[in-house]
Amino acid sequence: MSIDSIIAKSVAQAVKELYGIDTPADKITPQATRKEFEGNLTVVVFPWVKAARKSPEAVGQEIGAWLEANEPAVEKYNVVKGFLNITVAPKFWNSVLKHIADTLDYGIKQAGADSPLVMVEYSSPNTNKPLHLGHIRNNLLGFSLAEILKACGNRVVKTNIVNDRGIHICKSMLAWQKWGEGSTPETSGKKGDHLIGDFYVAFDKHFKAEVKELMDKGMTKEEAEAASPLMKEAREMLVKWEQKDPEVRALWEKMNSWVYAGFDETYKRMGVDFDKIYYESNTYLEGKEKVLEGLAAGKMYRKEDGSVWADLTGEGLDHKLLLRSDGTSVYMTQDIGTAKLRYEDFPIDKMIYVVGNEQNYHFQVLSILLDRLGFKWGKDLVHFSYGMVELPEGKMKSREGTVVDADDLMDDMVATAQSVSAELGKLDGLTEEEVKRISEMVGLGALKYFLLKVDPRKNITFNPKESIDFNGNTGPFIQYTYARICSVLRKASEEGMDITDFSDVTPGEREITLIQSLADFPATVEAAGQSYSPALIANYVYDLVKSYNQFYHDCSILKEENHSVRSLRLELSRQTARAVKTGMALLGIEVPERM
């Protein structure tokens, strides 16, 4: 049993004996005592004050005295207003460490057949350009959130919706027809998504030149953009696509296949995956059908021009267009169609959309509409709204080709990691293959950790140089500490140092701090799942690693002559390494055993 459970159970017993109040132990949640106060765990006593008819301080004193007299795990206590701060008996921490060591998959709950089924949607790329830095944050947040929700005992389906239709797709297709000269990923030596992205940029370049030429002849910018022959051709191609023109559809399928192959390569390197991928080309008609059902049921209304709308004024919003007067879909309709297909595929209990905060209004409306159309999870859908990511130089623009491609950024991060690691001597004695593997791990670990350690709701400026630092709150600092612990455990094994009983040892301050950090791991995972925040895991692991480094500095391990003390410290090292590896895996980050 964990120390939190032991204290909660004893507090429940104390409250029953002292005041006759029945409180389930699982409703009592001891928290780590704040650093400015004495103690290890704090229990809030306010819930029992009214029934006890005593002041918060008196209730705290009485429960504390009962625990000190009846619970062997409690050494002493103090009360600050309505907060009971409990100091755990030093020797008792050994049993806490043993409990951690004996618990398989410590901190991770396994899902059962009847566990909630949660779907997490992330990535949502367009097939006219490669993934960029913004997509990296989206993918990392989505993947990590899915892993954390799994660790909290949910069944999880990871899904992606690919935007593979629309005018922007036709722009790349038209540009390839005009200026591609039949180039392919094989003939150009480029990844398919990069090749198509180049043609999207080429379209914009030629379009702007046309607009300038027309403006030079006296047109306004709006008139010139409307009169552009190139844009007219792109619109005509879109109409042909919607009419299922065989030639246009064949080109669309060929170019999309190049992009998907490129995406797959990027996803694999990034370490993210999906259980099911949906395509807007398949979902937009489904959405139209669902909206027309809603119209027939009186949940939507049609205007004189034939367009279909939803009246959301009752919910404090406005009127929302769902089908244009020509019968074509808008993004909202496509999302309704995607929801319909997903619900047919999976009996979802909760749906989480990982999409940037510029779409807050969209998901507010989508939630109302899905609920109105009968999706049981519609009202409670979660828009995991995150802030934008920029570079120190500022914002990125796809059309102008100023976006930082995900592939290029990953290449740069790995190259920088290798250079910095070599300079610091952290790759000495490793084979060429090990250098390559560790540089990949450190470079991508630095990128992932930097983007995940921040509250997801905040905008972030990604600074590659800051992220690859072997000191401070960074991925490489954590990875290096993990490698250090592995080195200690390897040496102990080589020298035949086994871990034996250490129950008679009284752990010191550094050891207790570390054991308590390990004891906090399950609650941290649960809190990260409840608040949808990978940042809680990232910063927990960083604090754990800091505590271990302080312990490593102050306490001898391999040179400790007392066998029991050495066993305690080796077990502490082993469990810290396990928690670091598990925590980093929840962030999608690998940790190297040698560095």
Determine the pLDDT at residue 131. 93
Contacts of 190 (CB under 8 A, 6+ apart): 198
Determine the pLDDT at residue 396. 43
CB atoms within 10 A of CB 579: 23
Determine the pLDDT at residue 400. 46
Determine the pLDDT at residue 469. 85
Determine the pLDDT at residue 394. 52
Q: In the chain, what are the domain boundaries?
A: 3-89, 165-274, 407-586
Q: How confident is the model at residue 399 (pLDDT cuts 50, 70, 90)?
A: very low
Q: How confident is the model at residue 397 (pLDDT cuts 50, 70, 90)?
A: very low
% helix, strand, coil for the chain, step of 5: 55, 10, 30
| Lowest mean per-residue pLDDT among 213-227, 288-302, 336-350, 397-411 | 397-411
- Report the CATH number of the 407-586 domain: 1.10.730.10
Q: Give dist(CA 231, CA 174) in Å, integer.
A: 10
Strand partners, 126: 163
- According to DSSP, residue 90 is labeled T
pLDDT digits (tens, 9 = 90+) for 483-531: 999 999 999 999 999 998 998 999 999 999 999 999 999 999 999 999 9
Q: How confident is the model at residue 468 (pLDDT cuts 50, 70, 90)?
A: confident
Q: How confident is the model at residue 228 (pLDDT cuts 50, 70, 90)?
A: very high
Determine the pLDDT at residue 568. 96
Q: How confident is the model at residue 428 (pLDDT cuts 50, 70, 90)?
A: confident
- Residue 132, φ and ψ in degrees, nearest 5: -125, -170
Residue 220 in contact with residue 157, Cβ under 8 Å?
A: no
Q: How confident is the model at residue 198 (pLDDT cuts 50, 70, 90)?
A: very high
pLDDT digits (tens, 9 = 90+) for 40-70: 999 999 999 999 999 999 999 999 999 999 9
Instruction: Mark 226-256 as b/e (b = at least 16 C-beta within 10 Å).
Output: eebebbeebeebbebbeeeeeebeebbeebb
Report, as an integer, the average pLDDT of 396-406: 59
Q: Give dist(CA 259, CA 267) in Å, integer.
A: 12
Report, as an integer, the average pLDDT of 437-443: 95
Architecture of domain 3-89: 2-Layer Sandwich (3.30)
Query: What angle, rounded to 10 degrees, do the helices at 432-452 and 475-494 form?
Result: 130
| Lowest mean per-residue pLDDT among 426-430, 470-474, 518-522 | 426-430
Q: Give dist(CA 572, CA 97) in Å, integer.
A: 7
- Residue 325, φ and ψ in degrees, nearest 5: -60, -25
**pTM of the complete model:** 0.91
Q: Give dist(CA 290, CA 266) in Å, integer.
A: 34
DSSP secondary structure, 182-217, as one string: T--HHHHTS-HHHHHHHHHHHHHHHHHHHHHHHHHT
Determine the pLDDT at residue 393. 67
Residue 391 pLDDT exceeds 80? no
Strand partners, 145: none
Percentage of residues in the chain with pLDDT exceeding 90?
A: 82
Contacts of 322 (CB under 8 A, 6+ apart): 291, 300, 308, 309, 310, 330, 332, 333, 336, 369
Using CA atoms, how far residue 413 sits from 137, 138, 234, 402, 437, in Å, is 15, 18, 37, 18, 13
pLDDT digits (tens, 9 = 90+) for 273-310: 999 999 999 888 888 899 999 999 999 999 999 999 99
